[in-house]
Amino acid sequence: MYSDKRSVLQLVALLKAHDITHVVLSPGSRNAPLIHSFVTDGDFTCYSVVDERSAGFFALGIIQAIGKPVAVCCTSGTAALNLGPSVAEAFYQELPLLAITADRPEAWIGQRDGQTIPQAGVFKEITRRSVQLPRIVHEEDEWHCNRLINEAILGMESGATGPAHINIPLEEPLFGFTTATLPSVRLIRQSTSKCLLFDEKDYGRRFADYSKRMIIVGQLPPNHGLTELLEALRKRWGIAILTEQLSNIPATETSTCDTLLYAVSEKDLAQLTPDLVITLGGHIVSKRLKQFIRSANIREQWHISPSGEIIDTFQRVTDIIRSDHKTFLEYLVKVLSGLKTKKISAAKKSEESMNSRKEENFGDLWSSMCRSITEPDVLFSDLYAVGTLIHALPKNASLQLGNSNSVRLAQLFKISPSIKLFCNRGTNGIEGSLSTAVGYASASGEPTFLLIGDLSFFYDMNALWSKYSATHLRILLNNNGGGEIFGMLPQLNQSEALQEYIAATHTTEAKAWAEQQGFLYLSARNAEELEQHLPLLTVADSKKPVLLEVFTSMETNVAQIQSYYHRQKENFRSEQTNRALTRPSYITATNH
């Protein structure tokens, strides 16, 4: 029987999954759940060493002998500090020592209770990775605990080899040992070489074995050179390539995936669920896409991570691939093109042919469904203004997007492939979008457009105070009198504090400030005025920077967005009913 502590079960199961089965144990009560679970599992080779100072160095000797990571486990308090010398030696000798220190619950640290000292991060400067495990109450806590343990273990062999530290707070009662089996845990693997000397039988073969494959592309800089590689994979292997505007990949049908995920039924979602997901790039804007993959029954998720950092946005990652994006995609294209066709008997030829067609058409299934999604056709509102600007952008312009509603609404429109897109999605903060656009316009010398909301604009309006405001800077400011997005969040929109304190409603206008800073100021309060002023915003030879302030109402904006999504759901279901009558039988088979 194992300990009943869920964090202990995750730790023991993951050590076994990562083949760390030699454990040096120092006695104690706080680490008793760990000791019991290791000793009663026959897959572990356990050693008992009373003195923690000696135990750590004893473990180093085992590492030198077997050439594999070894764990050393102790109780709380100064026992943890006694591992310090051996951890330091492992760091400078580059040996994979995993220090596991039991701890008291965080609430008791500093409260003069026995054997309580600040243990979290105590070895931070002399370890490759140091983590503090959470107390598991909810499923998200268990996912977090699993990820942290994987990170610590992988950290010992990530780049330079060295020790890692796992601090595990454990509350009383400590001595419940009624769990019969270890849980099924998610093992995160990591490719070991930045040079991408991949085994063809590994990623290539695993890729080819799946029938429903998806690549999700997050934020990327312009001119990243990945578009042709992704298109080659899509054409040859029927992959569903999901992109957003910030990926700087020319829009395709699947660029509308966020709206599609709103419109589809549960049955449709099952058909659209991939077996394998490969993710690359930075942030994903679509919350629906994140929720879809997090809840989907996928088999594997590979994340291409140039730094080797474990990024688990979708809570499904199984492989961290240490490579730049282009190298790995080139590897896939090359390896997959060289895979030999399996020899099959005549009796299975028809079946294999059908399976091949199924594989080829998972991407087509996504594209077919996404074609039912149309661009917004709405009344005057923030959404209307965003679409009007995007359709009027001159070729080869640069478009900076403010966070919150600005970047989200822009996802609903197709943007010309010649447009370069930027947005501060690293932290998704309200601050700095205006300053970034001013800096970009000043340094690039290119026509630079900024689409921004009122709170973000006024928060950062000192950016216009800069003497570097370039004449080719063009700003469309959607001023709806507050933080409109908060009014669209369920339950929050019922709060009595919404208007004044959460949405921060206001009556501020940009006119005086913009004109004082030398801008040509324009304003629009209806569609006619917007259409009238748009040529002045997009003209190439203006002698001044231009700011067009579009005044809308929160109520109208919310109504128009909701109306758009509602129509998409109705139209999608109508289109799918019609297509089902004419869909080829092999595509219908793919969906089951």
Residue 340 has pLDDT above 90, yes or no: no
Report the candidate in 260, 264, 312 with the shortest Cα–Cα distance to residue 284.
312
Task: Summarize pLDDT for 110-124 with one digit per residue, the tens.
Answer: 887 778 888 999 999
pLDDT value at residue 357: 42
Mean pLDDT over each residue of the chain, to the nearest integer: 88
Kindly indicate the confidence band of residue 495, based on its pLDDT and cuts at 50, 70 and 90. low
Tokens of 548: 């067009």
Kindly indicate the confidence band of residue 283, based on its pLDDT and cuts at 50, 70 and 90. very high
Lowest mean pLDDT among 27-31, 225-229, 348-352: 348-352
Q: What is the DSSP string of 144-176?
A: HHHHHHHHHHHHTTSSS---EEEEEE-PSP---
Cβ(104)–Cβ(92) below 8 Å:
no
Work out the number of other CB atoms within 10 angstroms of the CB of residue 588: 11
pLDDT value at residue 491: 59
Kindly indicate the confidence band of residue 263, based on its pLDDT and cuts at 50, 70 and 90. very high
Q: How far apart are the first and last CA of the chain?
A: 41
Measure the CA–CA gap between 65 and 58, rounded to whole angstroms: 11
Measure the CA–CA gap between 302 and 325, rounded to whole angstroms: 12
Task: Summarize pLDDT for 361-414 with one digit per residue, the tens.
Answer: 899 999 999 999 999 999 999 999 999 999 999 999 999 999 889 999 999 999
Cβ(182)–Cβ(13) below 8 Å:
yes
502 or 287, greater pLDDT: 287
Q: Which stretches does DSSP call E strand in 420-552?
A: 420-423, 448-453, 473-479, 520-524, 546-551
Q: Across residues 281-293, what is the average pLDDT?
A: 95
Cβ(296)–Cβ(313) below 8 Å:
no
543 or 564, greater pLDDT: 564
Work out the number of other CB atoms within 10 angstroms of the CB of residue 488: 14
Residue 592 has pLDDT above 50, yes or no: no
Residue 547 has pLDDT above 80, yes or no: yes
pLDDT value at residue 145: 97
pLDDT value at residue 430: 83
Tokens of 200: 């063809």
- Asked if residue 221 has a cis previous peptide bond (ω within 30° of 0), the answer is no
Dihedrals φ, ψ of 328, to 5°?
Answer: -70, -40
Sign of the C-alpha dihedral, residues 425, 428, 429, 434? positive
Dihedrals φ, ψ of 546, to 5°?
Answer: -125, 140
Residue 503 has pLDDT above 80, yes or no: no
Burial classification of residue 173, based on how many CB atoms lie within 10 Å of its CB (0-12 exposed, 13-18 middle, 19 or more buried):
exposed
Strands of the sheet with 398-401, listed across from one edge: 420-423, 398-401, 448-453, 473-479, 546-551, 520-524
Residue 346 has pLDDT above 70, yes or no: no
Lowest mean pLDDT among 109-113, 176-180, 203-207, 363-367: 109-113
DSSP structural state of residue 184 = P
SS3 percent helix, strand, coil of the chain, rounded to 5, is 45, 15, 40
Measure the CA–CA gap between 293 and 316, rounded to whole angstroms: 8
Residue 465 has pLDDT above 90, yes or no: no
The three state secondary structure string of 519-533 is CEEEEECCHHHHHHH
Task: Summarize pLDDT for 291-305 with one digit per residue, the tens.
Answer: 999 999 999 999 999
Measure the CA–CA gap between 151 and 124, rounded to whole angstroms: 14
Kindly indicate the confidence band of residue 509, based on its pLDDT and cuts at 50, 70 and 90. very high
DSSP structural state of residue 200 = I
pLDDT value at residue 344: 36
Dihedrals φ, ψ of 393, to 5°?
Answer: -60, 135
Cβ(72)–Cβ(56) below 8 Å:
yes
Report long-range pairs for 362-365 (Cβ below 8 Å, ≥24 apart).
362/211, 362/212, 362/213, 362/214, 362/238, 362/239, 362/240, 362/274, 362/590, 363/234, 363/237, 363/238, 363/239, 363/240, 363/241, 364/238, 364/587, 365/240, 365/271, 365/272, 365/587, 365/590, 365/591
Report the candidate in 65, 312, 476 with the shortest Cα–Cα distance to residue 320.
312
Work out the number of other CB atoms within 10 angstroms of the CB of residue 392: 15
Report long-range pairs for 291-298 (Cβ below 8 Å, ≥24 apart).
292/261, 293/216, 296/269, 297/273, 298/273, 298/274
pTM beyond 0.75: the answer is: yes
Q: Across residues 441-470, what is the average pLDDT?
A: 88
pLDDT value at residue 494: 62
DSSP structural state of residue 188 = P
The three state secondary structure string of 316-367 is CCCEEECCCHHHHHHHHHHHHHHCCCCCCCHHHHHHHHHHHHHHHCHHHHHH
Q: What is the DSSP string of 525-585?
A: SSHHHHHHHHHHHH-TT-SS-EEEEEE--HHHHHHHHHHHHHHHHHHHHHHHHHHHTT--H
Task: Summarize pLDDT for 64-111 with one digit per residue, the tens.
Answer: 999 999 999 999 999 999 999 999 999 998 999 999 999 998 888 888
Cβ(352)–Cβ(344) below 8 Å:
yes
Kindly indicate the confidence band of residue 307, based on its pLDDT and cuts at 50, 70 and 90. confident
Q: Which domains does the chain have, with CATH numbers?
A: 6-187 (3.40.50.970), 200-370 (3.40.50.1220), 382-552 (3.40.50.970)
pLDDT value at residue 256: 92
Q: Across residues 21-35, what is the average pLDDT?
A: 94
Highest-pLDDT range among 113-117, 180-184, 425-429 = 180-184
pLDDT value at residue 586: 40
Dihedrals φ, ψ of 45, to 5°?
Answer: -100, 115
Kindly indicate the confidence band of residue 587, based on its pLDDT and cuts at 50, 70 and 90. very low
Measure the CA–CA gap between 55 and 63, rounded to whole angstroms: 13
